[in-house]
Amino acid sequence: MKVQYFGDVSDYRKYALLRAFARVGLKIGVCWVMTESDERSDGQFRRYIEKPNKWRQYDPELFDFLETVQENPAKGFKQFEVTELLPSALYFNALTPDGKSERQVWHRNAMAALAGAELVFFDPDNGFEVSSRAKGRKYSSKFTFFDEVADHYREGRSVLVYQHFPRKPRAEFIKELAGEMRRHLSEADVWAFETAHVVFMLGAQPNHRHATTEAAGRVEARLVPDFFRDAKRTAFSAASIEKQIAAIEADLF
C-alpha cells in the first residue's frame, strides 16, 4: 500500500467491503503492508469522485469522506485511521522491509498489533507472493506471504487479501489462488470479490461462516455487478460441505 494512492477507486471498493464485514459484527484489523511512495501517478484512479450521482450510492458516508481527501492523500490516510468508518478497527502501518530478518520482526509486530482483530485485511501493492520475489529479495515488500497470512489465521482470525490480476485467465487464476489458500488455511471457506482490475480473496474461519456469508450476501445484493463484478465462494471447508450434505439429506428423507 502506498499512501500516494489513498482515496482512489480501489480504496473506495476495499473500504466499502471492509465496512460490510464490520456491519455483521466482525472486528476489523488492517495490515497496510505499507511501502514508500515513489511519486508515480499510475494506479491513481480518482475520476470516480467527480461522478457522485453514479458512485455515491454504494456507500454515501465513505464516499463523502474520500471526497474530502483527494487533494491530500497522506493527510486523508491519517484521518481515516481515527474515524469510525471501521468502528474500533486496529491498524498496523509500519513500513514493510525487504530484508528477510527485518520482515520477520515486522511480522511479529503486526501479529501483536492486530491481536484483537477477528478479520485481518492485508493491503500489499501487488498481492500474494510470487516465485520471482522470494522473502528477503528486493521488492518483496510489495507482496503478502502465505506463511504470514497463515499465522494470523491460526490465531483465529479470518483473512482478506488485496490481489492484482496477472496476465492470465482470471477464472483460472482465482481457482489456483483459492486452492493455495485452502492448503495454507485449514478448514477455511474461500471467497473471491472481483473488480475490473483486482480481486479480494477471503479466507473465513469456520466460526465466522455465518457472519462472512451474511456480509457476502449483502455485497452481492447491493454492490454486484456495478461496484463489484462478482462475489462468490470458491472453496468450501469440509465442515461446510458436511453441513450442506446434511441439509440435502434432511430434505430427501
CA angle 216, 222, 226 (to 5 degrees): 105
Q: How far apart are CA 180 and CA 131, in angstroms?
A: 14
Q: Quote the pTM value.
A: 0.90
Q: Is the dihedral of CA 150, 174, 48, 224 positive or negative?
A: negative
Please provide the average confidence, as pLDDT, over all residues in the chain: 90
CA-closest candidate to residue 85, choices 52, 62, 104: 62
Its domain, for residue 172, covers 3-252
CATH number at residue 175: 3.40.50
Q: How many domains does the chain fold into?
A: 1
In the chain, the amino acid numbered 146 is: F
In the chain, the amino acid numbered 29 is: G
- Mean pLDDT within 219-241: 80
pLDDT digits (tens, 9 = 90+) for 45-86: 888 999 999 999 999 999 999 999 888 888 888 899 999 999
